Amino acid sequence: MRLATWLCLAAGQLAAQTHYDLLLKGGHVIDPKNGIDVVRDVGIRDGRIAAVQENLPSSSATRTVDAAGLYVTPGLVDIHVHVYAGTGVPHVYYGDNSVYPDDHSFKACTTTMVDAGSSGAHDFPDFKQRIIDRAKTRVLAFLNIASNGMDSGPVENDLGSMDADLAAATVKQHRDVLVGIKSAHYRGPEWTPVDRAVQAGRIADVPVMIDFGLFRPERPHSELVLKHLRPGDIYTHTYLDRVPMLDDQGKVRPYLFEAQKRGIIFDVGHGGGSFVWRHAVPATQQGFYPNSISTDLHVGSMNSGMKDMVNVMSKFLNLKMSLKDVIAASTWNPAREVRREELGHLSAGAVSDIAVLRLETGKFGFMDVEGRAMAGTQRLGCEMTILGGKVMYDLNARASIAWDAK
Ligand SMILES: [Zn+2]
């Protein structure tokens, strides 16, 4: 047999053998890591991405989903949520301020959530067995530098409980789920919480995420992002009213661009009190965009201006961030920020966490944390969420067989 003929036969056999458990057909794939922004079919096999190509035949798949007119992207990665629910403790984030992850993740196309410091070294084991080990959502976490976790009050402000060695040792012991160190809501004039968080981050070789609490003159925000944090560390609540973002002429202060340039990550962390249009509009008009989009999901944000991941992403679309950049800031960028580079993309062989999004055009309104509205013309909605190849949410029953089919 001539070699060319043999090669053709071999290729034919390979194609015939190719089988997909699930095939998403005709969707517009946006996969920022791989520079894909075009209509493609996505084949899934054994929970992994098997192929992203043109014209994969439906005959090769057990189930085919018509994704025409929709966007197919990596599953959304939300790096600021509070999901340490169920302890019964009122008015704290290691309790009733938190929500259960599966109640909110999949219907917003989120496949990975990163809890932002609701637990510290002392209560992390309880958080892990109560929530992380039992949730269907992929839940990772930043560990609070305050050992007793996040109450947004005296517990979290106790300098005596901020032990860098203990926090670092806990991260090292649970590297499978702990991705960094958090400091939040500090009210005092000292740099201690930030510096101990960075120290722990250095020992464990992980990034830190900072909520700067009260912005006190003794510890200027510019010094935080220019001196105390390392490149790769994350400042969350970028468009918070307390950030001294604009000068008297309404210009974005240069230190913010400088900090972003030196590698500080600016994360949205919308929440119930941390996103105002009077900062977000002028800042984005002047080119100061976030590196990552996150919700700061908790009971105080879930039904107010924040709502969910796709609503926060829609706000940035209407702030003239391109769809491709919005997707990057919600998938590959946050995955890299928490150093989970196996997530946030659709490379062949990657775990198949996928979001299928609908982009609607019309007249919409978006609320900030002060109750102010901004009108918009675009809104993203979540159609389908796939986690590890399994359909977790399917708004229009696209993956189902018709009820009267034989
Ligand atoms: Zn938070």
Interval 201-242: pLDDT, tens: 999 999 999 999 999 999 999 999 999 999 999 999 999 999
Q: How many Å lie between the centroid of ligand 1 and the Cα of residue 82? A: 6
Q: At what angle do helices 164-173 and 192-204 cross, to 10 degrees?
A: 40
Q: How many Å lie between the centroid of ligand 1 and the Cα of residue 381? A: 24
Q: How many Å lie between the centroid of ligand 1 and the Cα of residue 210? A: 10
At 281 the three-state DSSP class reads helix
Q: How many Å lie between the centroid of ligand 1 and the Cα of residue 401? A: 41
d(CA 393, CA 285): 35
Q: How many Å lie between the centroid of ligand 1 and the Cα of residue 101? A: 14
Task: Say if residue 15's pLDDT is above 70.
Answer: no
Amino acid in the structure at residue 341:
E
d(CA 305, CA 375): 13
Q: How many Å lie between the centroid of ligand 1 and the Cα of residue 314? A: 20
Q: How many Å lie between the centroid of ligand 1 and the Cα of residue 258? A: 25
Task: Say if residue 389's pLDDT is above 80.
Answer: yes
Q: How many Å lie between the centroid of ligand 1 and the Cα of residue 113? A: 12
- Alpha-carbon distances of 169 from 61, 121, 178, 200, rounded to whole Å: 46, 9, 11, 9
Count CB neighbours of 160 within 10 A. Answer: 7
pLDDT band at 2 (very low <50, low <70, confident <90, very high): low
Interval 136-192: pLDDT, tens: 999 999 999 999 999 989 999 999 999 999 999 999 999 999 999 999 999 999 999
Q: Quote the mean pLDDT of the chain.
A: 96
Q: How many Å lie between the centroid of ligand 1 and the Cα of residue 156? A: 13
pLDDT band at 17 (very low <50, low <70, confident <90, very high): low
Interval 239-264: pLDDT, tens: 999 999 999 999 999 999 999 999 99
Q: Which pLDDT does position 372 carry in this prediction?
A: 98
Q: Which pLDDT does position 18 carry in this prediction?
A: 82
Q: How many Å lie between the centroid of ligand 1 and the Cα of residue 274? A: 9
Residues with C-beta atoms within 5 A of ion ligand 1: 116, 296
Task: Say if residue 300's pLDDT is above 60.
Answer: yes
Closest residue by Cα to residue 275 from 335, 332, 327, 315: 315
Which token pair is 265? 């990550």
d(CA 402, CA 115): 39
Alpha-carbon torsion, ordered 218, 220, 221, 223, to 10 deg: -110
